[in-house]
Amino acid sequence: MSRISEVFKKNKTLIVFIMAGDPSLAKTEALVYQIEAAGADIIELGIPFSDSIADGVTIQGAATRALNKGTTAADAIKLVKKIRKRSSIPLIFMTSFNILSAYGVDKFARESKRAGVDGLIIPDLPVDASGLIKKHGLDIVFLAAPNSSKEHIKMIAKRSSGFIYAVSISGITGARANLHVQAKQTINKLHKLTRTPIAIGFGIKTPKQAKAAAKISDGVIVGSAIIDVIAKNKNVGRFVANLKKAIS
């Protein structure tokens, strides 16, 4: 069983997204330790890409800042190697398939695994490329949206490992006032097909929303709200701790 799967066996899982290289690689490393100490169970590390397909303004801004600092996929892999000297928290890379394609899918998966990465979230990953990644022992997390077709839901249920990323709304990432009511319907469809844990993401910005999301899922994913806290130089640890308390 993977490190990611083990986490979901213990409690409601808090997954926090940050962008590698925003505001710097050194700061990203420090944030990982701070977020872990505050109670996060899994950390998603974004690898910046200039033309993302699902990210809202906040995460696009973080990616732009990281790219302007020259952050690359190789830098992200080196960062994980450094983190693994101090931490065993599950780490997931989230990026575009274009990054993997340019790097070499097999090479990227192999080097990521050796560095200590536990899984990948690649929203535009071709299904036939997943085998190249899984053979290296990495979990593949697929996204299920409210408008996903029945066939796509079945594919996700069959192929996802670690957990399934249930998108709470149709559209791009970003904190919103209310979670989409169709999120529960998506989760119910998945529960009928798989025992793989399901975590909700997109639009969760407050402890209250996180608590509501945790009631119908196995975990909660918070990204844009975290990026906002970092950008405003506020206390990230306190914010994460409040999220964890809300879902526990």
Q: Could you write out the three-class secondary structure of 117-158?
A: CCEEECCCCCHHHHHHHHCCCCEECCEECCCCCHHHHHHHHH
The answer to whether position 76 is within a domain reads yes
Residue 153 lies in a domain: no
pLDDT tens by residue, 11-65: 899 999 999 999 999 999 999 999 999 999 999 999 999 876 555 788 999 999 9
State how many domains the chain has.
Answer: 1
Q: Report pLDDT for 169.
A: 64
Whether 6 is a known active-site residue: answer no
User: Above 80 in pLDDT, residue 87?
Assistant: yes
Judged against a pLDDT cut of 90, whether residue 132 lies above it is answered with: no
Catalytic residue among 55, 111, 139, 218: 55
Strand pairing report for 143-144 and 139-140: unpaired
Specify the pLDDT at position 172: 45
Q: Based on the residue annotation, tell me whether 44 is a catalytic residue of this protein.
A: yes
| In a domain? residue 169 | no
Decide if 123 is inside a domain.
yes
Residue 210 belongs to a domain: yes
Assess if residue 187 is contained within a domain.
no
Whether residue 105 is predicted with pLDDT greater than 80 in this model: the reply is yes
In a domain, 22, yes or no: yes
Active-site option among 22, 36, 41, 44: 44
Which residues, 6 or more positions from 114, have their beta carbon under 8 angstroms from its beta carbon?
none
Contact 130, 119 (CB under 8 A): no
Instruction: Tell me whether residue 39 is in a domain.
Output: yes
pLDDT average, residue stretch 146-164 = 90
Neighbouring-strand partners of residue 15: 42, 221
Q: What domain range includes position 77?
A: 3-142+203-247
* pLDDT tens digits, 213-245: 999 999 999 999 999 999 999 999 999 999 999
For the domain that residue 38 is a member of, what is the CATH number? 3.20.20.70
How far from 79 is each of 5, 20, 60, 229, CA to CA, in Å?
23, 8, 21, 22
